A and B are shown apart, each in its own frame.
Chain A
Amino acid sequence: MGEFVGVDPENLKELTRRLEQLHELLARHSPLIQQKMQKWGSEVAVTSLPGLIAAALDDVRDMDARTTRAYELARQQGWSALGRAPGIPGLIYKRPPNVRLDWEATGQSGYQGKRDAETLTAALAAKDPQDVRLALLGLPDSLRRHLADKDYQAAFWAGAGPLALRAARALYQRAGGALFSAESLSVLRALGASLAAASQMRVGTGKDRRPLLPAATRATLTGSSDPWSVGMLVKYGPEGRSWDSRLLADLTRAMLDARAAGKTIWPPARGKLETNVDALRHQRLMADYDAVGAVLQRAAENGMAARHVLGDPATGLKYARMLVSDSWHTPGYDPGPFLSSYVRPGGALPPTGQVDLSAPTAAFLKAAVSAERGTSVDAKESAWSVVHIAQATADFSKLHPQTVLPREIRHALIYTADRYLPDFAASASHEFTASMAMQRGEDAASPWAPVVRPAELEALFGQALQEPKEFGAYKGKMDGRISVAVAATIKDPSDQNYLREMGGLYGMIQRIQGDHHFAEEQLKDEQATRTQTAISIVSGGFGALSFSNAFGPGTITQILVALAAPPLNAMFDTDFALQAYKSNADDFRAQVLHVEAPVLQGLILAGAITPPDDASWVKNGVVTRTAAMADWVSRHSDTRYLGKTFTEWVKEAQDAMRLQQ
């Protein structure tokens, strides 16, 4: 503080402009400069160039802040850009006077942030959207320039927070095709990017470390009376991983609460809806500018944000209930007014023209259960999310026994069931008081796992699986895991029997399928999908489970990961398997689904069988079913491997998957 110097604001402005040009030029050409220098074997050290360029940007920011301050001081001294001069008619431009400026003062860019917040405040106060847009022309550039500038960000959001959140409502166009003009989009994008960047900034060190945005500012974000506008900042802001997960989680909760409370979450209607086409177009507009969906989408991209919301033991269930629902569509409209009076029936008509919006909801549910397995807090939140989603599904089915959830949401449930297959299998056979997430064996070194009541699992599978092919795919995934289940039963340091547990889960799924009473033709579909799925997993390599550190602390986590089937689309990439299946269906099916091969594979995986060096039926640890394999198996059917004969292992696998041969 305290180094006052006299400056000419006009010259300072020119200096800033040239500095900025210089920085841009350097930044643009820096890769080429470095490349050429290296190519020519230059002795000049170019490695520090990127650092220097970054420093130049800081200088531009500082100079920009000083320029703004210089003009401000000039105005305080009574200067006005346009004035009258004696002897000259009309207004003329007047140079600002020299001012004295504190050159080194800290918080210069903070000052710029404050000024920009004031500009925004003044601009948004204008009634006419055209005036708003003009007043905000320079804002996006300034916001972008200060994206990494903590002083600026703190000052801007402290000053502009509540208003910036309402920008979308002030900026939208009252007529025309697009809801926002190109300039308005630029403002919304810049505000979104700035908010995302500010959300990730931290100040202080050690114990004192805290978010740059103070609690009060964050509260205005989440407590906004205009959730739709907030949603638009998030929609036009950057991808989910560029946001702070806590802020996105808070915003998600706020949006879901607002939606539940019936607040304005939809874009404003433009004009009166006079025809059926108008009404349909408005439904489309609502879908295109869906604020809740935008926030859910960003939180899903972020991943951890979704897990913060659904993985909270106290509040996660409440939000899971809102998400696992058939209400994810635009409200639709009453077609009555648009019908000819001759055909209009009496009474209210059911709403029509609803547009499905369940995709972001489904993406959010998937993200909520997608943490890497293990002992981390993230894994804990993921496990709790699974528990809450299962409970919410059971609640939904209880309230609406005849309603099937939208396809996207059902697929999120299938994804969850894939990912937590071994966990679901472990709790499918015993009823108990309350589902919860816990570390297996109540041991802090064990991975987090959801332990879900059978009644809730039934509800989850009852909703998730509806079509014969879906049943087939899920059973096929279980078939494809036989070898892993065999290996896991042996390798798991506890006395857990994965095969038997999968058998219990299989029974539950078979029972649910039975209730559907599929016709003969549909059952063929189911069987074909089951076989294809199993083949694509099996031929994709049994080796998904590698017990590199078989008895280390990570064994159970490895087992849980390996037993969880890969996502459906990844599985069906194995075109080769499907081709093989089609070309030689019966033969191939007999080969692959013959349970001896996967059991043998599992025993090899677990190290219980070491194939002879000259065995032709195993290549790189992968079993292929040949006559030589069959011969080897028949000669070893009564040999005991870890307490059971080979035949007993096969019998157990057959029982588990009802794969009678």
Chain B
Amino acid sequence: MSTQAEPIIMTRQDYLSDSDPKWCPGCGLFAILRSLTSMFAKANILPQDQVVISGIGCSARLPYYTNTYGFHTIHGRGPTVAMGAKLANPDLSVWLVSGDGDALAIGGNHTIHLLRRNSDIKMMLINNQIYGLTKGQASPTSPQGLVTKSSPYGSVGRPIVPINIALAAGATFVARVHDKDTKQMEAVMMAAQQHKGAAFIEILMNCVTFNDGAYDLVTAKKARLDAMLELADGQPLIFGMELNKGIIDNNGKLEVAIIGVNGVSEDDILIHDATNAGLAAQLALLEFPESPYPIGIFRQVNEPVYGEWIDKTHP
């Protein structure tokens, strides 16, 4: 790979291609592109050493807009191309852009195996709960009852919780962010970039055209403090406008409690531990409005990385 004698200071512009994004005005993908390129600049990986791979869908157009090597592959198969690229050329930084249909329906198998192998690939699952590029059909994450072109009487199937899939596959870095908070998104992307192994980031994204407002109850600025639970490793699971609500362990079940009510004190609030897979799985089950919606890094552990394992067994 290229080495530099003098460190070059990169800017976000260095990672943007000449093409203007052709997404609907107001699409959450603009924010994702901004956060990703901004993180690339800060991580200071040269554009030629950065590869962005995608499948099919609105999100899959993202590599056209980054000034990096890019591969726009086929529906659901991005993880396979990313695996091969990284294994054959481990010095590259490989990012994978995917959507809820791409990663969980047609490519569900590949998503699971990418994560279980823990190859050093960073996967974004951009979840808008709808098929956008094919103009509005129900996806594996569409909530039950959602009326779409393919569910005229409401979506019937139960939605998948992507975080649960990632955890079940043994992903070593599992996070959730949303398109209304680019600062947090960029911070989590940076943590993923620095993580050794497969990283999985679910990005809640608003589709202005086919599923507008899907996350408004959670991501709207006013609602956020009460509707979201920010996960920070080593910090208590406290949330709410007044910072007086928290998650307690009630006989093995996570529950919301209010500090000072029913004898609950701050000491009763659980501390987030990103190495605790059991806790991560329980947090992933928390759904709004019964519970706050967890945002941030659910799990982060260090485990042997696939390609490096090959290097060790076959020197």
Say whether A associates with B. no
Taking Cβ atoms with an 8 Å cutoff, the residues of B that contact A are none
Q: A residues near B, CB below 8 A?
A: none
